[in-house]
Amino acid sequence: MALRMLTAASKIAVASVTGCAAYVLTANVAHNSGDNLHVTSYPWSHNGIFAAYDAASIRRGHQVYSQVCAACHGLKRIAYRNLVGVCYTEEEAKALALDKEYEDGPDDTGAMFDRPGKLSDYIKSPYKNENEARYANNGGYPPDLSLITKARHGGADYLFALLTGYRDPPAGVTIAEGQHYNPYFPGTKIQMPNPLYDGGVEYEDGTPATASQMAKDVSVFLAWAGEPEQDERKKAGVKAIFALSIAAVAAGYWKRHLWSIFKSRKLTFH
């Protein structure tokens, strides 16, 4: 009986180990499948417990997004008010919103009308719907960039590698018309052409607009767009840890004196 129980337990253990190994192998194969390269991890200024976003880089990244990326990609989860105090003043953000027109209404006659944008408006997509976007991009669908750093493995590292990774296809690789070779894109064939070239934008602060600088700035901007509350969350966490540390010291001191009379008393029996 004991031998049978031991044999059954051994079978269960072997099956569990085999199942775990198969799961890990499958995950690795799924993650490493294809010919795309793994991205390099970069020391971003906003990584780390006490690190914060680079406001100047966010502003330059928004400029790159507005002048380059916004032609195809939307940013529907970010409103103009989110830019206030981060990379623009309230007046600057209002001016950016006023440059756009938004459909509103109905008016007193029941008709819809266009009005200038305001701070509460969200940055809209250049296309009205997915069908229009695919028709304008040869069947490809440019994704909304609000959460792109959360939706792609590697986050900002992946975006920077993708934007700076366009190459001529190696020998033996056939690229169809309308596609481009990028070893960091899954499958290595991407419909989006290289969007960044040296001097593609003119930065307001005089920073040289090299392709790598623009890729870095727009990656930081989109990392902020995916988690705009990160700096506030970190500050709140530091405050909470500080308060809890003081509370822990006070609780330890109080407990020591509260229980001191019990630890020092002497019991005698007659």
pLDDT tens-digit series, residues 75-110: 999 999 999 999 999 999 999 999 999 999 998 899
- Look at residue 262 in the predicted model and tell me its pLDDT: 74
Nearest-angstrom CA–CA distance, 9 and 2: 10
pLDDT at 195: 97
pLDDT score of 258: 80
49-81 pLDDT tens trace: 889 999 999 999 999 999 999 999 999 999 999
pLDDT band with cut points at 50, 70 and 90 for residue 13: very low
Which is more confidently placed, 187 or 263? 187
What is the C-alpha to C-alpha distance for residues 163 and 195, in angstroms, rounded to an integer? 8
Q: What percent of the chain has pLDDT over 90?
A: 75
Per-residue pLDDT, averaged over 220-231, amounts to 97
pLDDT given at position 12: 41
Question: Has residue 30 got a pLDDT over 60?
Answer: no
Question: Where does the pLDDT of residue 257 fall: very low under 50, low under 70, confident under 90, or very high at 90 and above?
Answer: confident
User: How far from the centroid of its chain's Cα atoms is residue 230's Cα?
Assistant: 11
Q: How confident is the model at residue 255 (pLDDT cuts 50, 70, 90)?
A: confident
pLDDT higher than 90, residue 229: yes
pLDDT band at residue 120 using 50, 70 and 90 as cut-offs:
very high
The pTM for the full model equals: 0.81
Tokens linked to 242: 């500080």
> Phi and psi dihedrals of 89, rounded to 5?
-80, 170
- Report the pLDDT averaged over residues 128-154: 95
**DSSP helix/strand/coil, 79:** strand
Q: Mean pLDDT in the chain? A: 87
Instruction: Record the tokens describing residue 241, joined without a space.
Output: 């840890």
- Token pair recorded at residue 232: 């506030």
What is the DSSP code (8-state) at residue 81? G
> Residue 38's pLDDT is what?
92
Is the pLDDT at 32 greater than 60? The verdict is no
Residue partners of 196: CB distance under 8 A and separation at least 6: 64, 68, 163, 164, 211, 214, 215
